[in-house]
Structure 1
Amino acid sequence: MGDRERRTVFVTVGTTCFDALVKAVDSPQVKEALLEKGYTDLIIQMGRGTYVPSKVSGDGTLQVDYFTFSPSIADYIRDASLVISHAGSGSIFETLRHGKPLIVVVNEDLMDNHQSELAEELATRKHLFCASPQTLGETIQEMDIETLNPYVPGDAKPVVSLINKFFGFPDD
């Protein structure tokens, strides 16, 4: 078993409750899609959520583990081959900074959703993939990580103007 390369998928909801994302990741369709892409382990940070994912893993299935909070999710992000995240800007930029492939899952239950605009803009620029809980399985099946553009943190200008646009500040 030890000779198999581990390819971990790390799922994070930050400090929020986003059961729809945890449920989606726990679904047979999503697990199947991840397996087909060659991922071996699934680690879910479930935040304040109440939905508990199933840990059952047999042969040919993902090894699943989960926890609520960790003082530093940076380690999990660093070790991951793929990150599936809620649309919080902290989680997004942390993942992009580590140069990890990222699927941002937008929480459609949030009424005031600046977050989805940020995620969609970064998806348009091909820094990440964007999904909803309903389309996550499809997104995993169809994604081609090779098509992603590395995010270069040094170039803050586009991001700054994006943030200014959200908050209605003039762009200098």
Structure 2
Amino acid sequence: MGDRERRVVFVTVGTTCFDALVKAVDSEEVKQALLRKGYTDLLIQMGRGTYVPSKDSGKLNLQVDHFTFSPSIADYIREASLVISHAGSGSIFETLRLGKPLIVVVNEDLMDNHQSELAEELAERNHLFCSRPQTLQETVEAMDLDALQPYMPGEAKPVVALINKFLGFPV
């Protein structure tokens, strides 16, 4: 890599099993899309998943590594140039609070997936990009980081109200 600036993509599935996301970021197509966007490293936190991503980037000049769990992912998020995350609210809000560009990948296998509504609402407000595992490559290729709007923590109340309404709790 010489003196080329490191641009790390950090992928997190939290404590869940989200093999579809790990497989998607491990695909040659997504790795090539990340390289075309100028990213140099891919670090995957794979949680309880059974799919183990390849550390061999083949002909690609992308450094790839993975791990299962960490006591805190905050340092990984801080060091990242881009975060690709499951749709868990903790991971989403921690990344937005740290001001990092974020692609949220919705796990469509979850029943009553309120997480997709949270991700889609924040995407509509231009705080993040929302994707599915099968559309991750297209999302990476189309993303314009300059279009993202900073997330202001005071905005959580409307989002919480939306989640509570969806779950049938008093607003």
TM-score > 0.5, shorter chain as reference: yes
SS, match of residue 103 in structure 1: strand
CA distance in 2, matches of 1:128, 1:156: 15
Alignment of 1:43-122 (within 5 A): 43-57=43-57, 60-122=60-122
Structure 1: 5+ residue stretches without partners: none
CA distance in 2, matches of 1:161, 1:147: 26
**Mean Cα deviation higher: 9-18 or 154-163:** 154-163
CA distance in 1, matches of 2:157, 2:91: 20
Q: 1:42: which partner in 2?
A: 42
Q: 1:133: which partner in 2?
A: 133
SS, match of residue 120 in structure 2: helix
CA distance in 2, matches of 1:169, 1:114: 13
Amino acid at match of 2:51: Y
Percent identity reads: 82
TM-score by length of 1: 0.94
CA distance in 2, matches of 1:130, 1:59: 29
Alpha-carbon displacement from aligned partner over 1:83-104 (angstroms, at most 9, x marks no partner):
0000000100010000110000
Q: 1:149: which partner in 2?
A: 149
CA distance in 1, matches of 2:116, 2:168: 17
CA distance in 2, matches of 1:49, 1:157: 33
Deviation, 1:111, is 1.6
CA distance in 2, matches of 1:31, 1:60: 8
Deviation, 1:61, is 1.8
CA distance in 1, matches of 2:69, 2:115: 21
Deviation, 1:168, is 2.5
Deviation, 1:138, is 0.3
CA distance in 1, matches of 2:67, 2:162: 33
Deviation, 1:50, is 0.6
Deviation, 1:77, is 0.4
Amino acid at match of 2:29: Q
Structure 2: 5+ residue stretches without partners: none
**Mean Cα deviation higher: 156-165 or 105-114:** 156-165
SS, match of residue 66 in structure 2: strand
TM-score by length of 2: 0.95
Deviation, 1:23, is 0.3
Q: For this pair of structures, how many residues does the alignment match?
A: 171
